[in-house]
Amino acid sequence: MPSYTAPVKDMMFLFEKLRDNKNYNELEKYNEVSADLVKDILEEAAKINQNLILPLAKAGDENPAVLENGVVRTPPGYKEAYQKYIEDGWTSLSCDPKYGGQGMPKTVSAFFDEMLSSASLSFKLYSELSIGAYNCINHHASNEIKDKYLPKIVEGKWSGTMCLTEPVCGTDLGLLKTKAVKQSDDTYKISGQKIFITSGDHDLTENIIHLVLARSTDSPAGTKGISLFLVPKYIVNEDGSVGQRNGISTGSIETKMGIKGSATCVLNFDEATGYMIGTKDKGLSAMFTMMNLERIVVGIQGLGISEIAYQNSLAYAKERKQGKTNNSKSTNGADFIIEHADIRRSLLNMKSIIEGERALCFWLSQQTEVSLY
């Protein structure tokens, strides 16, 4: 199994040296977030990622998520790890205290995202979209919907997804066919099929909150007629409890080359009850609140995978012997490959790119805070 040590020292260097950003500094709510506090958080984050989540990477590849009798089952160990994960409050790190969050800046949660990506990207994906859904709902939904759904998402008891892609459209969302029919109680009946839905179904949370792009029956064609709807896997009762199953079923799980522990699903919506988020026919712009943040997070995924790849490459270079260098001092006919100049060059190149990526992600996280608030 690959080894991993969270680069807390490198992360703290960025937090302490690049924190001084004029617009970011004007956000008074983060004035009390000290370097000591952030270091404590990152050290605890390192422990859970290194000790609990890292072993899930191998488990997820060897025992992928499966669909059995209409139920998606996650790999062995995922349920127990997720329970510990939410009990420790990691899903709430950057969320608003109003809904039970810890109110940490996204510069801090970005570091945690990197650690998770390094330790087990498959496991990370079950909560990643939840934060995106949280941000979208928080910025575009009514207070009634926010009060009803956000606390459970923040707590981690409910998760979230982003449902855009269909068999007939991917990048050109104007072609989508999922329809929304308005009901007398101002809810909508959502019908259609969505594909490639990350964490579209699983057994880790008691409810899954889908954010679905669909076209109302009286809306124009193209992207100008798309609205955004909140469609829960289970209907939420007036008292906030989970009620009956909504009209959503899982058609299949995609077969992938990697991240096999993550369930990428085909979802069928059969007159599922949905609630409009934001303004009618402006769903695409509302969804981009989620999409733009996810683009940064996907970049952080690449950073996390690069970091663990570098660490294991370095470890291997220090133990593998092959050939002799020009200035070899070996007495047994071979040198460790890290003694070869080209190997050292490759490792240093990897390290420098990773440090640049991490600095960029930190800066982007700051800009996200400024643009959202």
Nearest one of 79, 98, 235, 99 to 154, comparing CA atoms:
99
Give me the mean pLDDT over the 32-39 stretch. 92
The answer on 186 and 120 residing in a single domain is: no
Domain holding 44: CATH number? 1.10.540.10
The answer on 87 and 18 residing in a single domain is: yes
Neighbours of 187 (CB within 10 A): 16
Which pLDDT value is given to residue 330?
A: 64
Q: At what angle do helices 143-155 and 121-140 cross, to 10 degrees?
A: 160
The answer on 165 and 123 residing in a single domain is: no
Q: What are the angstrom distances between the C-alpha of 2 and each of 6, 57, 178, 310, 314?
A: 13, 9, 43, 11, 12
Alpha carbon distance 233, 70 (integer Å): 13
Which of the 8 DSSP states describes residue 280?
T
pLDDT, tens only, 221-245 = 998 999 999 999 999 999 999 999 9
Q: Assess if residue 352 is contained within a domain.
A: no
Give me the mean pLDDT over the 11-17 stretch. 94
pLDDT, tens only, 174-193 = 899 999 999 999 999 999 99
Question: What is the span of the domain harbouring residue 97?
Answer: 8-153+292-306+361-372
Q: What are the angstrom distances between the C-alpha of 271 and each of 148, 182, 249, 274, 325?
A: 22, 11, 11, 9, 69
Q: Assess if residue 321 is contained within a domain.
A: no
Q: What is the pTM of this model?
A: 0.92
Confidence of residue 331 (pLDDT cuts 50, 70, 90): low
The answer on 162 and 148 residing in a single domain is: no
Cβ atoms of residues 136 and 287 within 8 Å? yes
Cβ neighbours for 251, distance < 8 A, ≥ 6 positions apart: 193, 265, 266, 267, 268
Give me the mean pLDDT over the 72-89 stretch. 96
Confidence of residue 201 (pLDDT cuts 50, 70, 90): very high
Domain holding 274: CATH number? 2.40.110.20
Which pLDDT value is given to residue 8?
A: 98
pLDDT, tens only, 66-76 = 999 989 999 99
Which of the 8 DSSP states describes residue 53?
I
The answer on 140 and 210 residing in a single domain is: no
Task: Please say if the pLDDT value at position 15 is more than 60.
Answer: yes
pLDDT, tens only, 133-142 = 999 999 999 9
Which pLDDT value is given to residue 373?
A: 56
Alpha carbon distance 59, 55 (integer Å): 7
Which pLDDT value is given to residue 265?
A: 97
Confidence of residue 30 (pLDDT cuts 50, 70, 90): confident
Nearest one of 109, 143, 160 to 368, comparing CA atoms:
109
Q: Assess if residue 84 is contained within a domain.
A: yes
The answer on 174 and 262 residing in a single domain is: yes
Cβ neighbours for 263, distance < 8 A, ≥ 6 positions apart: 65, 67, 72, 74, 199, 200, 201, 202, 253
Scanning the structure block, which residue is given the tokens 């964490």?
Answer: 199
Which of the 8 DSSP states describes residue 29?
G
The answer on 93 and 190 residing in a single domain is: no
The answer on 130 and 193 residing in a single domain is: no
Q: Assess if residue 226 is contained within a domain.
A: yes
Neighbours of 239 (CB within 10 A): 7
The answer on 278 and 170 residing in a single domain is: yes
Task: Please say if the pLDDT value at position 321 is more than 90.
Answer: no
The answer on 80 and 216 residing in a single domain is: no
Which pLDDT value is given to residue 198?
A: 96
Give me the mean pLDDT over the 355-373 stretch. 86
Q: Assess if residue 327 is contained within a domain.
A: no
Q: Assess if residue 195 is contained within a domain.
A: yes
Confidence of residue 278 (pLDDT cuts 50, 70, 90): very high
Confidence of residue 44 (pLDDT cuts 50, 70, 90): very high
Lowest average pLDDT, out of 41-45, 150-154, 324-328, goes to 324-328
The answer on 178 and 104 residing in a single domain is: no
Nearest one of 223, 196, 197 to 209, comparing CA atoms:
197
Task: Please say if the pLDDT value at position 328 is more than 70.
Answer: no
Domain end residue (candidates: 224, 257, 286): 286
The answer on 21 and 131 residing in a single domain is: yes
Task: Please say if the pLDDT value at position 324 is more than 80.
Answer: no
Q: Assess if residue 92 is contained within a domain.
A: yes
Cα-trace Rg, the chain: 23
- The alpha helices in the chain, defined as continuous H runs, are 8-17, 22-25, 35-48, 54-62, 78-87, 106-119, 121-140, 143-155, 283-317, 341-372
Q: Assess if residue 113 is contained within a domain.
A: yes
- How many domains would you assign to the chain? 2
Which pLDDT value is given to residue 131?
A: 93
Exposure string over 268-295, b if 16+ CB within 10 A, otherwise e:
bbeebbbbbbbeebebbebbebbeebbe
